Structure 1
């Protein structure tokens, strides 16, 4: 949106918001006399040196040397620009941001797809007030005005151009998936006669919409298409709202529908989020585990629900560890979360969440149905089918617990069970450690050798981005080591291994020998080798992603965002091939 933000508005906004509330929704603050304290979010400290002063409406971080207002904190903590931080605070305060030199908030001056989505969000919310049939539908579903405001629920009129005609230039709205381009030129509204649910990213920005029809449209729910901003497999409905309601949720409940999330919040259970018409992905789980240590999946109790739960389990296995839990809650026949919470109430519903089936128990229950455990062959088959799932578990305690649970089922000595599964539960000195040691080889091992010997090398690597998706043994450990030295440039390998949170990995890192170039190579050569090694990994990641997109293209038509990504990747590969010496 164009125009400068007036200084007077910024001062009024800082006076209006409570910095304790702003920071307390993101950090765990504890009262310390007249102030509040917390561990610094900017350094990896063990004793609190981050203070918030309600009287001064400022924060002071003695660990990193940072200080400032609520706006400064949002800029540092969430890496927002100044205008973005002001917009975020204004949204929380429920006020519009005025712009000097603009014609007011109603003017549709769009500078990109994010602007288009924010504008559409305002249009849909305003239209809801003018649509009695939409308001009546929400009332029948038990949604209050306050809950509708919390989730930004709106309404798309039954018109082909209700949004289109308000936009002097539809380009960014087309790019955002709000409009559909006509073959003969022009565009028309994608969403018509639908209750609109804005889908927000972790910063609260609208990146897409879900629409529930109020007519006889065969598509009951319609989501935004995949765009450069919105990916169904990487975003969750309600996650931002859940974090705003509960800064540090004890759990997050994964349900299947928009109205389930809204109804649970209405009933006093704001910890619910929903996948967006797709199965749970590892990207979803990474988002969830950044916000909580316990994820509970809620599914129907029928065969389809249990199949969906099994797919979620397969995605969760590599993400769950000794500090993370996953559990499964199955609904009674004919019920969904909305109807069940209305029938039994929030307290009884929470009790069911607390009693959800743990991941290991669900795994055992489902696999045991496939084998006859009453005979030796059936028990052997059960253990054989369990092995690949056991191998994907990363938590030592979790693996040990699973072994404890299946020993009486297969009626075998514990040592035999451990040998059959290929590990001793992940404890120190186990086969699992030796397996991990074997996994560290080739370029990943070499880069670990270099950075452990010369931690300053980490400073030359800026951002990992695409590397996180690369399937390369040992790469996640390498990236975490580099991140550690990024955050602690004054530390060395001894300090890293003494403070590393995983004892098994710490032991493994401590056993990595120094590189030969420590003796025979120059400092410049080591820097060059380290940077070149990371660039080769990036090239490998790009090729892997391009192959994935080409495989997707064989099965379905690529979205505009995926097509743009593929073009960028292939252009990058072509440029690299041109740069190679002949």
Structure 2
């Protein structure tokens, strides 16, 4: 609805903001000057004891010097009542006696029709409430008493009872001269297909009225008293007033409670909402007997930026939570999301509150989990990822889910969270320095050829070459984090032996900030001495990828060569291991050929790296760096021959 020019200005001029605000705050008489319209009070938007909330009645604005909240009378009503702008305009106009602009005749006629239907619904509600206190409602009262509902709760939620009669409500309304057409249009009765009078929609049911945010009764929900009834819960049919996919139970009170700082809780049913509200969780709503719709989700986000979905802990509740997640993914915006609470042991919120009280419920709400956790658990729960194919299938499933998120920033953060969880699931385990013993079931026995003074790394007893390479790789990435995306996969597959190296690997893979912040965050996490000890290693200081860290392309090239040599050595070691296990009394030319080809590949890899990176050959202190993979074919064959059984 559009407002005519000047309407809002006149509305603001008629309204006194100090009167509007005064309904929600207690003025500080010592600081306030009512004559000048200069008023002070503790801020209603954040908890404080001092009067830092200032209202200037002459200018028509408020401002808090603590939380910096500011606005006019309409803004104050919006924030404190948790209503839309037009609803705030209607509230303020009603308070100052200013009529809202007239709508066009067709719209006015439609509004009049809805007003008539709402009046019929109110008459029906009063009938249901009276019936609860009659002898016919004895069983319903007993049931409600068994659910620990006090008279105060019955009055608060206006709970009633529809008697077990075909035309009880029909006869009551027609006797009050309500037209039959309005009764049918309100969904309170259904026409008979047998030529008889229409019959009541609700019979022998406990009645829960459903009100819209404007507090109009737009429909009813009914719980069957007969356990053999086909439908345990029944809602009003779709009418001009009622659309269950666009309505929420307890919408208005929940919106008001959320505006006062309570978390919005989304439960499954009427009784859950009533139990939550009675326990102090007033910002509770429920969909009306169906799965949550997109419109209902948008309504929830208008109430709260992060509603908590609290569904039953059974299989149906878990599936309902997953359906909500699938619905929400394409709709996510910055600051708009969902959190999830699953009730324990198949309980619903009503059961939990009766068993553990409000404290048990609050503990669950405090531990509510973000939506990304449910996304990950659905993809991984009860599954085994012991093969590359299964891991690839997991990646594909998660990629398809993330594609549903339209906001690129949110999609990026979800991707990083999934990446962190994937790292925790598949993170490489430390490999012992000494070779593992042969496993008869798997046939796996990684073997490192016997080191000699010529091939054991540094001739004077320094670290093996693969540990030197590990240090260079990590130092290079710390100095040049821009190279990380190009080698991320190889870094994830690399198995580090030293605890510090493993921690640095995990830190690099999980880092998601700006590259220029990586070093400072690494210092905060590991401490400057740890990083300094890594950077001062002689082979690190003279490494080309460290000395030329500003050249990202060069660093990437160097790192790829380092990874290639490490993985080539690893593959060659497995080839030798298999050869040792396969050796027999008879000389095997095929075996010799396999070792020979593996050694050629290893030598080619090493030679290429040496040609491109001659600075690796000589350390600053004059020590010669001699790599394990420079073992000659004769050395390897000698080991194999040595391992053969003695012939007779």
- TM-score, scaled relative to structure 1: 0.54
Q: Which residue of 1 aligns with 2:331?
A: 319
Q: Which residue of 1 aligns with 2:180?
A: 170
How far is the alpha carbon of 1:215 from its aligned partner? 2.9
Matched position secondary structure for 2:418: helix
Q: Which residue of 1 aligns with 2:139?
A: 133
How far is the alpha carbon of 1:348 from its aligned partner? 1.6
Q: Which residue of 1 aligns with 2:110?
A: none
Matched position secondary structure for 1:78: helix
Distance in 1, matches of 2:264 and 2:85, equals 26
Q: Which residue of 2 aligns with 1:208?
A: 219
How far is the alpha carbon of 1:328 from its aligned partner? 2.1
**2:187 touches 2:236 (CA, 8 Å); kept in 1?**
yes
Matched position secondary structure for 1:317: helix
Evaluate the alpha carbon distance shift between residue 76 and residue 405 of structure 1 in structure 2; reply closer, same or farther with a 3 A threshold.
closer
Distance in 2, matches of 1:69 and 1:329, equals 32
Distance in 2, matches of 1:236 and 1:416, equals 50
How far is the alpha carbon of 1:373 from its aligned partner? 2.3
How far is the alpha carbon of 1:245 from its aligned partner? 3.6
1:400 to 416, 437, 447: 416
**2:258 touches 2:303 (CA, 8 Å); kept in 1?**
no
Return 5+ residue gaps in structure 1 as ranges.
1-13, 25-30, 40-47, 87-108, 419-423, 430-582
Evaluate the alpha carbon distance shift between residue 300 and residue 52 of structure 1 in structure 2; reply closer, same or farther with a 3 A threshold.
farther
Distance in 1, matches of 2:378 and 2:315, equals 12
1:390 aligns with 2:402: yes
1:309 aligns with 2:321: yes
**2:40 touches 2:54 (CA, 8 Å); kept in 1?**
no
Q: Which residue of 2 aligns with 1:227?
A: 239
1:161 aligns with 2:167: yes
Q: Which residue of 1 aligns with 2:201?
A: 190
Distance in 1, matches of 2:185 and 2:138, equals 31
Distance in 1, matches of 2:205 and 2:59, equals 43
Distance in 2, matches of 1:358 and 1:224, equals 34
Distance in 2, matches of 1:278 and 1:417, equals 45
Return 5+ residue gaps in structure 2 as ranges.
1-14, 26-31, 33-37, 46-51, 63-69, 96-112, 429-483, 490-509, 516-648
**1:288 touches 1:295 (CA, 8 Å); kept in 2?**
yes
**2:74 touches 2:85 (CA, 8 Å); kept in 1?**
no
Distance in 2, matches of 1:136 and 1:269, equals 25
| Structure with larger RCO (C-alpha < 8 A, sep 6+) | 1
Q: Which residue of 1 aligns with 2:128?
A: 124
Cα displacement string for residues 350-380 of structure 1 (whole angstroms, at most 9, x for unaligned residues) = 1112212321111111101375323222111
How far is the alpha carbon of 1:310 from its aligned partner? 1.1
Matched position secondary structure for 2:288: coil
**2:39 touches 2:54 (CA, 8 Å); kept in 1?**
no
Evaluate the alpha carbon distance shift between residue 138 and residue 367 of structure 1 in structure 2; reply closer, same or farther with a 3 A threshold.
same
**1:199 touches 1:208 (CA, 8 Å); kept in 2?**
yes
Distance in 2, matches of 1:400 and 1:200, equals 42
1:149 aligns with 2:149: no
CA RMSD of aligned residues (A): 4.3
How far is the alpha carbon of 1:303 from its aligned partner? 2.9
Q: Which residue of 2 aligns with 1:274?
A: 286
Which residues in structure 2 correspond to 1:64-75 (within 5 Å)? Answer: none
Distance in 2, matches of 1:379 and 1:68, equals 52
Q: Which residue of 1 aligns with 2:380?
A: 368
Distance in 1, matches of 2:266 and 2:39, equals 39
Q: Which residue of 2 aligns with 1:456?
A: none
Distance in 2, matches of 1:187 and 1:417, equals 71
Matched position secondary structure for 1:158: coil
Cα displacement string for residues 185-231 of structure 1 (whole angstroms, at most 9, x for unaligned residues) = 64221112221111122222221110112234332211111223222
Evaluate the alpha carbon distance shift between residue 301 and residue 333 of structure 1 in structure 2; reply closer, same or farther with a 3 A threshold.
same
Cα displacement string for residues 112-138 of structure 1 (whole angstroms, at most 9, x for unaligned residues) = 322222222222223333334333322
Query: What is the total number of aligned residue pairs between the two structures?
Result: 368
Distance in 2, matches of 1:344 and 1:363, equals 29
Q: Which residue of 2 aligns with 1:181?
A: 191
Cα displacement string for residues 264-320 of structure 1 (whole angstroms, at most 9, x for unaligned residues) = 222222232211111122211111111112222223333332222211110121233
How far is the alpha carbon of 1:159 from its aligned partner? 2.2
- TM-score, scaled relative to structure 2: 0.49
Distance in 1, matches of 2:321 and 2:390, equals 24
**1:248 touches 1:292 (CA, 8 Å); kept in 2?**
no
